[in-house]
Amino acid sequence: MSFDLLLDSSLAKQQRDGERNVSHDFTINFSPPIYLDSGNYKAALDELITMSYSWYNIDASFDNNKIRWRKKTKAWKTLTFPNGMYDYKDINRFLQNHIGKVDPKDKDSAYNFNLYFDLTSYRVVILVHEDYELDLSQGSFSELLGYGKSILSGDSVGRKLPNIPRGVAGLGVYPLRSDQPDDKKCSKRCHILFFNSESSSQLSISKSTASD
């Protein structure tokens, strides 16, 4: 016997007390409850799952939401990222949208900063215009990009592997099970840890056999 359960954080948020649910840590309440025969059961995620990061990786509480920049010889300016989930392209887009180009009046002018992830070296590359500096010495923003605390005055490559998910890159499931002869009603609470924007996947529940 086997059946599928839809695990969807967006649905969990609509439930009573749903505000407690977030995309990477949520509880699904199944109604009506799930009834199982006696015996052992196992839970398994589908083999093919497409997932991306979901939890905030830039947040004021992590002390990684601010960087400083300046035109050389000028005073430092602070750029603050709104709390949220960012990939490398998001970070680069935010930099360019808020810091801009060397010559704002010239549409073909170069951007002050360009940031991208190099798939060959698995490092983050930051291109810095010769007239500008980028300060990564404060807070922990540099850790996301694989850089040490430093001030960049020219093109740079991170010395370490970037840690944009902040060390959280796992998937955990507390499976539903019924292993007591008198326990025929499976708990209707399934605690699951995902890392995708609006977690939605399918969990397969099947009864174990003697060969399992």
Same domain, 138 and 201: no
DSSP 3-state of 21: coil
193 lies in which domain range? 2-54+169-177+186-207
Same domain, 14 and 95: no
Least confident span in 39-43, 83-87, 165-169: 165-169
pLDDT 10s digits, 4-38:
666 666 777 777 777 777 665 667 776 766 666 66
Same domain, 90 and 140: yes
CA 143: distance to chain centroid? 15
Number of domains in the chain: 2
Strands (E) across the chain are located at 2-8, 25-29, 41-45, 66-71, 77-80, 113-118, 123-128, 132-135, 151-152, 156-157, 172-173, 189-193, 200-207
Same domain, 90 and 122: yes
Same domain, 198 and 116: no
CB-based contacts of 174, cutoff 8 Å, min separation 6 = 190, 191, 192
Average pLDDT over residues 52-70: 85
Same domain, 71 and 37: no
Residue 173 domain-assigned?
Answer: yes
Question: Is 106 a residue whose pLDDT tops 50?
Answer: yes
pLDDT of residue 193: 39
Residue 33 domain-assigned?
Answer: yes
Q: Which residue has the higher pLDDT, 200 or 63?
A: 63
DSSP 3-state of 142: helix
Same domain, 34 and 97: no
* Whole-model pTM over 0.85: no
